[in-house]
Chain A
């Protein structure tokens, strides 16, 4: 384990970094800012990061959290990396569909499928 911060659990499996939330709600702006800072710092320390964010156990999400995910996605892209989201509760997935962010992010049902979706480094383009 690389880090076990209050709101995020971050583990590494080879070159893949898995981020999981330790709280059910991602609503409050102060918490979201803290989560965003940790994720951005994580990406900035990686070369061509391959990051999976799992939403297992998360049952509420605000639009401010969506904004933070977009910031993290841009950071990952700027570092020639790849970001995948997975384990999104159907009600929260509806939030992604309504905002059309399901087309911006690559979303998979499980961590396994998210891992299998990563492209090899040589073929990798900004995603």
Chain B
């Protein structure tokens, strides 16, 4: 089993500043195309989100979306070929988490997928992953070729605080 490689794109480490919005470092992981390896990816990313007090719902949403994106990358992108890899790039700041999941496959057109909530497809046993990613993330963007997806989740604890400040001063 291959080891997970972790690289930080910026060498300098800076102290955590909760008021900052843009100092997060992009980190990269490259892991073998094995669905069981998703847990270590989630743990790595979610532990950083916990540092910034992302809400429980944010963590649930991120875990779900990363799981679906990774499963799609392994199953549909890399067609369960263990010699292929899934590349993860992520950045966590006090305000948001961005996660890019890229596979070695030829990509696809997300617009071509049927609506899994339609009467015609409601009993299909697959095809709900992208729907869930879009429902639980603030933003989901596929690359033009479709072999890479960027997931973005804002930290609701910061948003809640801001809304509270606006409402109560």
Binding site for B on A (CB under 8 A): 27-30, 59-60, 62-64, 66-68, 70-71, 74, 91, 95, 98-101, 103-104
Q: How many angstroms from the CA of A67 to the CA of B35 in the assembled complex?
A: 17
Q: Is the CB of A91 within 8 A of B117?
A: no
- Name the residue of chain A whose CB is nearest to the CB of B116: A99
Residues of B within 8 A of A59 (CB): 60
- B128 interface residue (CB < 8 Å to A): yes
Given A29-B35, A29-B71, A63-B68: A99 and B123 interface contact (C-beta under 8 Å): no
Q: By the criterion CB–CB under 8 Å, are A64 and B71 in contact?
A: yes
State in angstroms the CA–CA spacing of A100 and B127 once bound together: 13
Q: Please determine whether B126 and A63 come into contact, CB atoms closer than 8 angstroms.
A: yes
Interface, chain B (partner A; CB < 8 A):
35-36, 38-39, 57, 60, 63-64, 67-68, 71, 75, 116-117, 122-129, 131-132, 135
Whether B122 lies near A104 (C-beta < 8 A) is: yes
Q: Which of A30, A59, A64, A103 has the most CB of B within 10 A?
A: A64
Residue of B nearest to A59 (CB): B60
Bound Cα distance A28, B128 (Å): 15
Given A29-B71, A70-B125, A63 contacting B35 (CB threshold 8 A): no
Given A62-B67, A62-B71, the answer on whether A95 and B132 have CB atoms closer than 8 Å is yes
Q: Name the prevailing secondary structure of the B interface residues.
A: helix
**20 additional contacts, CB 8 Å, given A63-B68, A63-B132?**
A27-B38, A27-B67, A28-B38, A60-B60, A60-B64, A60-B67, A62-B64, A62-B71, A63-B126, A63-B128, A63-B129, A64-B71, A66-B128, A70-B123, A70-B124, A70-B125, A74-B123, A95-B132, A99-B132, A103-B122
A62 contacts which of B68, B116, B123, B131 (Cβ < 8 Å)? B68
CB distance from A27 to the nearest CB of B (A): 5
User: B60 near A91 (CB under 8 angstroms)?
Assistant: yes
Give the chain A neighbours of B135 by CB distance below 8 A: 98
- A60 CB contacts on chain B under 8 angstroms: 60, 63-64, 67
A70 to B124 CA separation, bound complex (whole angstroms): 8
Q: Is there contact, CB below 8 Å, between A28 and B131? A: no
Shortest Cβ distance from residue B69 to the other chain A in the assembled complex, whole angstroms = 11
The docked-state distance in angstroms from the alpha carbon of A12 to that of B128 is: 32
Alpha-carbon distance A103/B116, docked complex (angstroms): 13
In whole angstroms, how far apart are the Cα atoms of A60 and B42 in the complex? 13
Q: Which residues of B contact A101 (CB under 8 A)?
A: 122
Report how far A27 CA is from B36 CA in the complex, Å: 9
Complexed CA–CA distance, A74 and B57 (Å): 31
Minimum Cβ distance to chain A for residue B80 (Å): 9
